[in-house]
Structure 1
């Protein structure tokens, strides 16, 4: 079994998984990794094994959250142990059911015209600015922020405040717990105040509906109400914003596929799935950890009860056992399957919303700004350090 240490090194390129994990996928499937404090975990790399870790109840997020103090090297303390992403059923099911109706395919399609209008307005504003324009500030962040703020009922004018907190909470393994703790407290206080304001003046938004579930039906606690709202806001903009940036960078790397997609916008829905499979959004090599609640065998490797398990989703998305020629980007690839939104009970709640926003973003940019291109080479890009996702500080574009 490979002798790896954690944190794993950064991949040498933005466009492919860590080579050591690809080697494990080819030769071993599962390997042990050891942190500086001597803690041991198992990294899982093949598509079917990773999917098993995500869907099998023997791999627990809640148990991983309980270990956050003793195994911080593996990034077990993401957000809060009371966050929905750190729960198992039945508690996870209870909270997810309260918000799931806001993210159904039907509800998301009802939101599409509004998202398209936001895209058009943002592009109108882009066209008035001096070029090159920073796409991060003026488009890729602004779009999902406005959509999720309107859905949840958060004033869009507070964007700058909560984005700084969000950056701290999205930090990866090794983050200063004092910084993440301060951000969590500040954001919790902010949402506590917003809940108070919404109680006084209810509106037609998700937060008001959650308050009603708390006050009228006693389906969640006050702390759960605040934590759930916080998680929806962070999850509803961080990954989508950075995915837009990484899609443009990835397409620049594959100019023939870029031209093919721009020439035929009907390919965009399927291309979004292929890009979700292919784009290396995560700045870390593995996703949120689980803990095995009993002895499990994956690809012939015994994983003892109590072991930390690290699913390598980006590597799994390039598994040749699941995808033909996985290293080739194909914007017209049929029947794309990927794990970028997770699977099982923790499948991303906002997956349909993210898909719709990415589709509308690409349609708007490629039809309104057909000559759009990133204005700087990769080596001049600056990424925020220590983030769970690859978060570029700025993305200058021309057209």
Structure 2
């Protein structure tokens, strides 16, 4: 059948009450029509098996220029439209990366980037991640109250990704400001300004790295080649943008959401303290239970497809509802319970298929090291406010907290 129901508003209220809203939709059916705050209609897939299949379906495209055209086609005559530059969204030109491409362009880019972003390079970061973790946790000790996001969850991954890419330490706060403005849904003008400032800085950084190469990922991306093929300047800027944003935003919110899950489930926190070897599994459960993304970025149907008995026409936007799929009780029994001993393997927090997150191993390693350090330093960590008072980010993509105040209560 083809559904013709009125779309459900995906607004701030939906995002703030994400799991409850998604649970209602998942119970009602596998596919629903939403409309985001910009007025764009999108189909969301809420059940695990359908979402996983969707993420590997070649009939779903991600090409940025096609997405731009489809977006513009959906605005009514006379309605305010997004600014455009040469058939693309305005503000920085960050769309020429793997996440916004289909094969064969995606295949070419991923092959080049993987040659620089190697497992060996990531693993070599472990001692430095442990050192940064120790420094940040030591600085938290002795304070009666501290925001885990500001003091720990943000500075850890941003320092790691900036050092990995060779970004100057003095610009870390700039990157936090820029990415927050790009991913939050409060001020479109501020978002465009942030994109422009970030693009200018990355252009200057690339020029500096070409002049003075270093032992960092950015230099490796500049130098990497395959059959005389190299990344172009726009591709380099877009890839560095993707690595910077994805390389710290997801980990910030993975740590923040995960710590909240532990503190609101004291039996699980106690189990982890009693057996720190459960850390790796705990991180997977954190990703499943309350991951850093609500759903995927836009995909579009290249032809009509049927999901869960519902036909979605060609040229329609589709989200895989990651937060909904990861709490599907048909895949994860007692899915709304946080259980660090469960086998959470197969969750979709990092996606699936050709667009599976390239930085997943780095995010996992950072979160595992962070969690081990936090437990060792602050085994009596408690929330400094009630969970109901914690606000969520104003984003239609990122699922994260605005702040997470805690009482460290250092171990004697």
The superposition leaves residues 141-173 of structure 1 with CA deviations (integer Å, 9 ceiling, x where unpaired) of: 11101111111111122111111111121134x
5 Å-filtered alignment, 1:275-286, equals 275-282=286-293, 284=294, 286=295
* Conservation of the 8 A alpha-carbon contact between 2:140 and 2:146: yes
Residue equivalent to 1:48: 49
Residue equivalent to 1:59: 60
* Conservation of the 8 A alpha-carbon contact between 2:115 and 2:224: no
Structure 1: where are the runs of 5+ without partners? none
| Post-superposition offset of 1:47 | 0.8
Structure 2: where are the runs of 5+ without partners? 83-87
Residue equivalent to 1:170: 183
The superposition leaves residues 218-240 of structure 1 with CA deviations (integer Å, 9 ceiling, x where unpaired) of: 51211111111111111111110
* Conservation of the 8 A alpha-carbon contact between 2:116 and 2:220: no
| Post-superposition offset of 1:381 | 3.0
Separation in structure 1 between the aligned mates of residue 26 and residue 147 of structure 2, nearest angstrom? 38
CA RMSD of aligned residues (A): 2.8
Residue equivalent to 1:94: 108
Residue equivalent to 1:342: 351
Report SS of the residue matched to 2:124.
helix
Separation in structure 1 between the aligned mates of residue 38 and residue 204 of structure 2, nearest angstrom? 40
Separation in structure 2 between the aligned mates of residue 177 and residue 84 of structure 1, nearest angstrom? 24
* Conservation of the 8 A alpha-carbon contact between 2:157 and 2:252: yes
Worse-superposed segment, 357-366 or 87-96: 87-96
The count of aligned residue pairs is 391
Residue equivalent to 2:154: 141
Report SS of the residue matched to 1:33.
strand
Residue equivalent to 1:321: 330
Q: Does 1:228 pair with 2:239?
A: yes
Residue equivalent to 1:305: 314
Q: Does 1:130 pair with 2:116?
A: no
Query: 2:134 aligned to 120, 123, 142, which one?
Result: 120
The superposition leaves residues 240-260 of structure 1 with CA deviations (integer Å, 9 ceiling, x where unpaired) of: 012211111111221111111
Q: Does 1:186 pair with 2:197?
A: yes
* Conservation of the 8 A alpha-carbon contact between 1:5 and 1:36: no
The superposition leaves residues 169-197 of structure 1 with CA deviations (integer Å, 9 ceiling, x where unpaired) of: 1134xx54433222111111001111111
Change (3 A) 1:373 1:66: farther
Q: Does 1:32 pair with 2:33?
A: yes
* Conservation of the 8 A alpha-carbon contact between 1:144 and 1:236: yes
5 Å-filtered alignment, 1:193-212, equals 193-212=204-223
Change (3 A) 1:71 1:118: farther
* Conservation of the 8 A alpha-carbon contact between 2:209 and 2:219: yes
| Post-superposition offset of 1:213 | 3.4
Residue equivalent to 2:95: 81
Separation in structure 2 between the aligned mates of residue 38 and residue 341 of structure 1, nearest angstrom? 27
* Conservation of the 8 A alpha-carbon contact between 2:390 and 2:401: yes
Separation in structure 1 between the aligned mates of residue 74 and residue 364 of structure 2, nearest angstrom? 34
Change (3 A) 1:23 1:392: closer
Report SS of the residue matched to 2:114.
helix
